[in-house]
Amino acid sequence: MAIPIPEKRVAEFEKLGFGMFIHWGLYSQLGRGEWVMHQERIPVDEYKELAKTFTASKFDPYKIATTAKAAGMKYITLTTRHHEGFSLYDTRGLSTYDAPHSAAGRDLIREYVDACNDVGIVPFFYHTTLDWYHPDFNNNFKSYLQYLRDSVEVLCSEYGKIGGLWFDGNWSKKDEDWEEDALYAVIRKHQPEAIIVNNTGLSARGEPGNLQLDSVTFEQGRPTPMNREGMSKYFAAEMCHTLNAHWGCGYADFNYKSLPHLIETLCACRKVGANYLLNVGPTGEGEITLLQEALLRSIGDWINLGGGSVYEGKPCGVVSEDSPKNFALRIDNKLYFYVHDLSITGDSNVTVAGGGAGDKVFTGVPGKIKSVKWTDCDGDLAFTQDGDKVTINCTGYTYGKSLVVRIAEAEIE
């Protein structure tokens, strides 16, 4: 059965490859995650007081966009409104529970979009569909859906061209009619090229839905390869991931992922052609912390050494005989072999990295290989080829290097 061809915008989205997710809202001031209102059963009247202290005094979207760029991220998805119901944008009269009516007194989404455009990062909008603040959400759902559509219309018509909309919350009322067609029609009217995503949550990872959607989601889980045969449209895939254990700022959350884990996760996503959307939770004042920034910048350094194939490289059916983690991506007549767990070659009294160097076998190689070399250093690697089977002598790192995942670039005839 045929695999559908991706629409142009979907193909472009896949090439973005790596993005920054940002969860920031009133909850960030409490520093106990973005679900704090719900978890601690804080009454609306008490919770909404947080708007009076939400100054956004350290929110510097230019700095955030610059950090994203240094991390090798091509897009940012920011929570314009999360489940708490507070909007970071000027709702233009739809509600007074928004940034211009808070202590910040300004439209934070305007600043965000302008900064992204300046820096050359594509701005995406996360928007909740579940709302703990709006009374209609539980009392007059139809009228709530109109409010949601009007809100989205503001976002789609007031900020120029945006990358896309990322919805989240339909899983909260699984049996309701969310009138999705009407919501997506509002977007298509103003932003025909926007990517539309609607998160299927932890319980239904990778599930396609409405045909206006452009990507499936793999929340907090490594994406599995998509079987697109016979599908009526090509959906991209995206995995969103927390840097520690919460999306929103957690002052007592020390559970950060390691840099090797983050690099390997980025690779695991690209192995199956999925985008990687890595989250930061700025402080209540709007600042990304030093630890978060340092981790992100280091991923960018790794991407630079690898030569950038993480963006345009496509899965091409190459299989590793040595490790399920190893794989290859293809760009035109180039193949990029992603090799994990190489050791450092050097004096045994000082080199500690585990794993091994040596021959690595790949099958399903499309074409005859002319030459292979690491992207991070000069010199050809020895290899032999027998039909679609290639054995590459993967040398270890020289003392002074340990890249977690090392990429070999091969030219094919």
Shortest distance in whole angstroms from residue 395 CB to ligand GLC: 40
8 Å CB contact between 89 and 154: yes
Between 97 and 247, CB nearer to ligand GLC: 247
For 100, 161, 165, 320, 339, the CA distances from 397, given in Å and listed in that order, are 53, 44, 42, 20, 12
One residue of 168, 180, 264, 409 binding ligand GLC per CB under 6 A: 168
Q: Does residue number 219 form part of the binding site for ligand GLC (CB under 6 A)?
A: yes
Establish if 80 lies at the interface with ligand GLC (CB under 6 A). Answer: no
Asked if 287 is part of the footprint of ligand GLC (rule: CB under 6 A), the reply reads no
The only residue of 47, 89, 133, 247 in contact with ligand GLC, by rule CB under 6 A: 247
Instruction: Pick the closer one to ligand GLC by CB: 126 or 397.
Output: 126
Could you tell me the smallest distance in angstroms from the CB atom of residue 171 to ligand GLC?
Answer: 7
Is 14 a residue that touches ligand GLC (CB under 6 A)?
A: no
What region, left, alpha or beta, does residue 70 occupy, with left being phi > 0 and alpha being psi -120 to 50 degrees?
A: alpha
Q: Please, what is the minimum distance in Å from the beta carbon of residue 199 to ligand GLC?
A: 5
Shortest distance in whole angstroms from residue 203 CB to ligand GLC = 10
Q: How many residues does the chain have?
A: 413
Hey, CA dihedral for 184, 185, 187, 188, is it positive or negative? positive
Give ∠ CA 84-85-91 in degrees, rounded to 5.
Answer: 150
Closer Cβ to ligand GLC, 130 or 231, answer by number: 130
Supply φ then ψ for residue 256, to 5 degrees.
Answer: -75, 145
Q: For residue 34, state whether it binds ligand GLC (rule: CB under 6 A).
A: yes
Determine phi and psi for 325, rounding to 5 degrees: -80, -30
Among 87, 102, 191, 199, binds ligand GLC (CB under 6 A): 199
Task: Look at residues 223, 404, 221, 381 and name the one whose alpha carbon lies nearest to residue 301.
Answer: 404
C-beta of 131 vs 168, nearer to ligand GLC: 168
Kindly tell me which of 200 and 320 has the beta carbon lying closer to ligand GLC.
200
| Residue 211 CA to its chain's centroid (Å) | 21
How far is it, in rounded angstroms, from Cα 317 to Cα 140?
50
Count of chain residues binding ligand GLC (CB under 6 A): 9
Contact status: 240 vs ligand GLC (CB under 6 A): yes
Q: Is 84 in the site for ligand GLC (CB under 6 A)?
A: no
Residue 116, interface with ligand GLC (CB under 6 A)?
A: no
CA pair distance 89, 326, nearest whole angstrom: 43
Phi and psi at residue 239, to the nearest 5°: -110, 125
Q: How far is the CB of 382 from ligand GLC (least distance, A)?
A: 45
Bridge partners (DSSP) listed for residue 79: 126
CB of 202 to ligand GLC, least distance (A): 7
Q: How far is the CB of 74 from ligand GLC (least distance, A)?
A: 19
- Supply the minimum distance, in Å, between the C-beta of residue 288 and ligand GLC: 17
In the complex with ligand GLC, the residue whose CB is nearer, 27 or 338, is 27
In what order do the strands lie in the sheet containing 383-386? 319-320, 358-363, 389-394, 383-386
| Residue (of 80, 268, 248) closest to 168 by Cα position | 80
List of residues contacting ligand GLC (CB under 6 A): 23, 34-35, 168, 199, 201, 219, 240, 247
